[in-house]
Structure 1
Amino acid sequence: MAVIELSTQPFFSNKNKAFWYLHSLGWAGAVILRSASALANGQPLGFLIPLILSAVTGYSITLLLSVIYRAVIEKRPLITWGVTTISVFIGAAIFAYIDVWVLQILRPIAEEKAFVQLLLGALYVDGILIGAWTALYYAINFFVRAEEQQDEMIRLEAQATSAQLTMLRYQLNPHFLFNTLNSISTLVLLKQTVQANAMLSRLSSFLRYTLINQAEAKVTLAQEIETLKLYLDIEKMRFEERLRPSFEIEPLCTQALLPSLLLQPLVENAIKYAVTPKEEGAEISIKAVKLGGRLRIIVSDSGPGMTDHHEMKISSTGLGMANIRERLLQAYGENQRFEYYSGAGGGFEVLVELPYEEKKIEMQQNNIFANNEVSLEDISSIGGMDIMGEGTKA
């Protein structure tokens, strides 16, 4: 069975072709209307000859006018409209004179007074035709230019949004690198080369992920959790048993889409304010559920909660929470929810709620850990984490 592909290309994508279509159809329509009117008024069929010749004349004159209009349309308004007005009068006068001259050849008129009357009548009719054609020419051109400017504005806004998302996402990398390289340096100074090498290997896998995925791209929650586990693996080498993560992810949520590296700053914030200050460390919980058409993610910890110092850092214009809030606004506008608060029994909790978007086409996902010493099984075994919702803790 043959499939007919319908073109979705905009009509004015080729302005030259669109002009010829509209120009030809317009004058053909004028001939049809004038012919129908003449026949309805009892004119003989021979009257169609001067009408057709008149249409050919108008077609040719307006072609010349289009060249003039194209040359002045981008000039100052005074020049544009001054030249246009003069051109309309001259074009209408030539059009009318040729019409009457043709009519006189076909039907000779002896009286000069009758010739002048015919000329004035033709000037009125032809002036209306030329004026209407001119008005349509400018109206269509201004419409096309307005559409082009709007498309350009949308394109520039998209580029600005993409650039801002890229900037926000890449702010995370130097911040994370500083902490990780500092830890590696400490391990080297302590001559713990095995641990230092393992951390470098995990760091390379994490950075490979940030390079593979575009900064403004969205990834599945499963991919985000895998990367988050890799990050926690690196941090667990620093904090050991003091860092106790757990995951409770509904299976329905694994293919939900969200901005890449959205959760890493939340976990990093929990490590900084919950795990680091306490000698016994803290628990960090990541939960994800689907609520109707929404994806809700909650990152909580068992730390001291929202202290004054903690709140000041969160509300600052630096990284962390401010970064995430801005990324969510850029990606979803007001159709998102981002809240943080202290729990009833202490601790700190961050809630992120997004429109539920799912990957429509199943594609073979890139394995960001390929050709690396770290396997997904090794990463999944950190602290007994289970992506399918077991929620066991280290």
Structure 2
Amino acid sequence: MNSKGFTLFTALVAFILISLSILLVNSMVSSERNNFEIISDISEQQEMQAIADLTRADALQVFNFGIRYSIESFSKEDNRVPIGEPDNPYILFATNSDWDSLQENFIAEKFGIGTGDSDPGPFATLTASHMTNLLSRAESIRGFEIELAEQRREVLARGLQRTLNGSSSSSDFLELVNCDSGNYSDCVGTFYVTLDLSRGSITDSDYEDFPQISVTNNLTERTLREPILPRGKFRIYVPVRLFKALAGARAVGFASGDGVLDDSLWDDIDALPDQSAMESRLDSQVSTLVSNNNLEADDDGFYLESYKVFVLTDSDNKLLRYDVDLIFKEDNPKYRVESVNIENKYMITLRRNRA
């Protein structure tokens, strides 16, 4: 009897030990499986993150190019008659004699800085159009599908305009290269622009208007989505010499009383008897100012290509307005974004109206 009891007890203990062993083995297998899944998830996340980072770096370069290209294209666009004259001249008035205020007015008009406009301006619209075309495709990698999330151009244009509006002054957005005084002969005229996407400068909803990258693992169908532009400030170099053209135009417009926009020249021309005499006097003065400032001389590929004058009078030959169109040409590819077989011309119009 004792032998049978001992045998039964031994069998029970053995059963318990076997059960515990099975539970322990299952636990170890489960832990190993969980560890493997965690390691796989981490490895997959790291691989997808690396792919996203590389794609974002490429897309960021495209974005930088798109901004530079848009600024150049917007400034020199020449699609309307007469061919050879830019379609978007900048008009300089008598109130723009100060170099700092000229910069403020220029970027407010061309880029919408500090205007507070909620609707996208021409520059934001043009940039959004270029960006949506440039970022429309992305090459996939074996095992992963890479997409640049489709972004409607009007949404991107609105986001760009709000970002531009976030710049409170020209100094937040613009930095000139070697052109602080506005002296034509010493001015390089290229510049940097800054897009501020840092927190506090742009809302989350506006930030989401910018394009995003999507990386999908074809096996697990797991998707990683990230914005092309990380939070922060982006400083973009624009190689075009727009501000050298502005400095040259300013030298013609303001010349110690003898400039096209100075009061004394207006009074002199206003005293002449007819439109022909007025145009002749204006043309002569412009020729003198151009010569005095060596604007037609080649300055590392940049020079004044041509100019023309226009005088408007009433039926009694009373002077109402005159314009001087100055067309500067860039022949140095170092200062062009789209440098292949493309002529860069920038037109500045000096305009004086009767008060």
**Larger helix proportion, structure 1 or 2?**
1
* Higher gyration radius (CA): 1
- The higher-RCO structure (CA 8 Å, 6+ apart) is 2
**Larger strand proportion, structure 1 or 2?**
2
Please state which band the TM-score falls in when normalised by the shorter chain. 0.3 to 0.5
State TM-score, norm by structure 1.
0.30
